[in-house]
């Protein structure tokens, strides 16, 4: 009995078996495409030099003026 799954990249039916070294992908190409997407866009972490608009440290308070 062989489990057949949809390739996450191209959607083709592919065997999820030990004989398929690229499982759950249908091919090396699809696996690399998915890894590339993971590394570059879909799960990219936000830049660390963003301005702290919300949830971050508050901006420095102005000293009160005495005039
Ligand atoms: Zn594929």
Which residues form the domain of 22?
3-40
- The verdict on residue 53 lying in a domain is no
Which is more confident, 66 or 20? 20
Per residue in 21-53, pLDDT tens? 999 999 999 999 988 876 666 555 566 766 666
Ligand 1 centroid distance, CA of 3 (Å):
16
Q: Is 59 contained in some domain?
A: no
Instruction: Determine the pLDDT at residue 43.
Output: 54
- Give the span between the Cα atoms of 13 and 6, in whole angstroms: 5
Asked if the structure places residue 21 within a domain, the reply is yes
Whole-angstrom distance, CA of residue 11 vs CA of residue 39: 20
Taking the model in full, what pTM does it have? 0.54
Distance 11 CA to ligand 1 centre (A): 6
Domain count, the chain: 1
Mean pLDDT for the chain? 82
For residue 34, being part of any structural domain is answered with: yes
Q: Is the residue at 45 inside a domain? A: no
- 18 CA distance to ligand 1 middle (Å): 17
In the predicted structure, residue 66 carries a pLDDT above the cut 70: yes
């Amino acid at each position: 009995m062989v489990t057949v799954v949809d390739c996450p990249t191209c959607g083709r039916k592919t065997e999820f078996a030990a004989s398929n070294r690229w499982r759950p992908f249908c091919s090396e190409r699809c696996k690399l495409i998915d890894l590339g997407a993971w590394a570059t866009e879909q799960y990219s972490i936000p830049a660390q030099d963003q301005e702290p608009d919300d949830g971050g440290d508050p901006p420095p308070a102005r000293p009160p003026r005495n005039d």
